[in-house]
Amino acid sequence: MAVIDEVAKTSAILHRRMLINGAWVDSVSGQTIIVENPAKRKPIAEVPRGNAEDVDRAVEAASRAFPVWSRTVPRDRGRLLSKIAEALEGRLEEIARLLALENGNALRTQARPEARNMADVFRYFGGLASELKGETIPFGEHVLSYTRREPLGVVGAIIPWNAPILLGALKIAPALCAGNTLVLKAAEDAPLAVLLMVEICQEHLPKGVLNVLTGFGLECGAPLANHPLVRKLSFTGSTEVGKSVMRAASERIVPVSLELGGKSPSIVYPDCDEDWVVDGIVGAMRFTRQSQSCTAGSRMFLHADIFDSFLAKLKSKAQALKIGDPLLEETDMGSIINKKQFSKVCGYIDDGLKRKEATLVFGGLPPAEGPLAEGYFAVPTVFADSSNDWRLAREEIFGPVLVAIPWRDENDAIRMANDSHYGLAAYVWTHEIGRGLRAAHAIQSGWVQVNQGLGQVPGHSYGGYKQSGIGREFSLEGMLDSFTQRKNVTVNLETPVRG
């Protein structure tokens, strides 16, 4: 912990390695990537710049570890995951601080809750090992036909930087529980907390079962996706890269799970001009994660009768959020991950400001001077526009920019909500529960919340419709669907008795 605080305050730099076959190693090339603290625009660490050669080593190690791990009694695998959960629980604060330092997410509102969720994911899957059940099929008394849930082999998993330890845990725990081995590629912008989580995992695992690489997408992620020994691909990140991962999967006919972007709608009914709904919208928009969330409710369909008054309340709540150093307790909202994303977000705000039809309700471009200009800090921003067809209403911004669109006819609101190539999450706000549920059923999204805007909980079905992805991983069913394959065994019970 002291080391993390020193790095946060001085120009000290952490040196971290990757995990291959139970050993902590540099890249074969010896090259490194610099990791930056985005709240100060300052280097804090260097990690190996893995490439195809490193991928090869990691995949081969995972492949060698597979036979023994896959035949380990499932409950014993589960027991190890539960031990990992306990070990992680003892180090949550350290992991959370490292995460806040490297990805700019505020410690109190984001990094700590994410660390708790990470440990929870190991707890949840640790208890599920006995649920890898098959079934018997009643073909008649002369035959015994049954299915087994078998692991797939080496899983290649690639994760992004926005919730790296939670998303990393969501690959590691179900894949290992089901008897697969894993090569995980961390995101180049936020590898440190993942490496610490993995270090704790490794204390309880046989070598080669879990391997972790650091490196860039094209140099390290792509060779992993294309590796012939990888039997399953699991990717969380942008839709563009998701498509390339799916193409790689199609070349070898391996199953693929994709958790991609979103442009999730919030529909607010006229009976909801109330404070708790405004709080819910702030939560659903993930303003305190700078809205760098695939489930951000970034299109708000607000009933015309309450449009101005609701936005006035939203303005006062959103502007009350304290933006600043992610490591300070009082901070509600930290910084954007890196320069590229920061410029992208500013580009969208600029577009909104230039568009005649759009009105800036509050926020705008980030401050160019003062303490916030030290890091990639953006401010909560809302544009009002009657159209759902412009760029800000269609593309995933991945920054704190919300578009508010008025409606009068419920059918119009639902039609606009569905008029998107994404379909990850959605939020409906009304006191009339029947109406809320009818809307929930009509919305084309994998996850609809009525009257709340919370994050995922292990155990629920979570994943996208349309271009937001395919497959589910968050639950028992997700583990079974995404990380096992079914084998049928049929036995003739009427073979002649010998002798």
Residue ranges binding ligand NAI (CB under 6 A)? 158-162, 185, 187-188, 216-218, 221-222, 225, 236-238, 241, 244-245, 260-261, 294, 341, 396, 398
Q: Is 259 tagged catalytic?
A: yes
Minimum Å distance from CB 211 to ligand NAI? 15
Minimum Å distance from CB 156 to ligand NAI? 9
Distance CA 434, CA 477 (A): 28
Q: Which is nearer to ligand NAI, 78 or 237 (CB)?
A: 237
Q: Which is nearer to ligand NAI, 245 or 378 (CB)?
A: 245
Residue tagged active-site, from 36, 188, 259, 473 = 259
Residue tagged active-site, from 177, 272, 294, 346 = 294
Minimum Å distance from CB 158 to ligand NAI? 5
Which structure tokens are listed for 6?
């020193």
Q: 123 vs 18, 198, 388, 432, CA distance in Å? A: 25, 15, 42, 36
Distance CA 371, CA 40 (A): 10
Q: Which is nearer to ligand NAI, 326 or 463 (CB)?
A: 463
Distance CA 466, CA 70 (A): 33
SS3 of the chain: the string is CHHHHHHHHCCCCEECCEEECCEEECCCCCCEEEEEECCCCEEEEEEECCCHHHHHHHHHHHHHHHHHHHHCCHHHHHHHHHHHHHHHHCCHHHHHHHHHHHHCCCHHHHHHHHHHHHHHHHHHHHCCHHHCCCCEECCCCCEEEEEEEEECCEEEEECCCCCHHHHHHHHHHHHHHCCCEEEEECCCCCCHHHHHHHHHHHCCCCCCCEEEECCCHHHHHHHHHCCCCEEEEEEECCHHHHHHHHHHHHHHCCCEEEECCCCCEEEECHHHCCHHHHHHHHHHCCHHHCCCCCCCCCEEEEEHHHHHHHHHHHHHHHHCCCECCCCCCCCCECCCCCHHHHHHHHHHHHHHHHCCCCEEEECCCCCCCCHHHHCCCCCCEEEECCCCCCHHHHCCCCCCEEEEEEECCHHHHHHHHHCCCEECEEEEECCCHHHHHHHHHHCCCCEEEECCCCCCCCCCCCCCEECCEECCCCCHHHHHHHHEEEEEEEEECCCCCCC
Minimum Å distance from CB 340 to ligand NAI? 7
Q: Which is nearer to ligand NAI, 187 or 205 (CB)?
A: 187
Q: Is 294 tagged catalytic?
A: yes
Minimum Å distance from CB 397 to ligand NAI? 7
Q: Which is nearer to ligand NAI, 293 or 388 (CB)?
A: 293
Q: Which is nearer to ligand NAI, 128 or 159 (CB)?
A: 159
Minimum Å distance from CB 222 to ligand NAI? 4
Q: Which is nearer to ligand NAI, 218 or 373 (CB)?
A: 218
Q: Which is nearer to ligand NAI, 61 or 222 (CB)?
A: 222
Minimum Å distance from CB 186 to ligand NAI? 7
User: What residue type is assigned to position 247 of the chain?
Assistant: R
Distance CA 293, CA 308 (A): 26
Minimum Å distance from CB 412 to ligand NAI? 27
Q: Which is nearer to ligand NAI, 126 or 478 (CB)?
A: 478
Residues 6 or more apart in contact with residue 179 via CB below 8 angstroms: 69, 70, 71, 72, 74, 77, 132, 150, 151, 484
Minimum Å distance from CB 237 to ligand NAI? 3
Minimum Å distance from CB 249 to ligand NAI? 11
Backbone angles phi, psi at 390, to 5 degrees: -90, 170
Q: Which is nearer to ligand NAI, 350 or 357 (CB)?
A: 350
For the annotated catalytic residues, the residue numbers are 259, 294
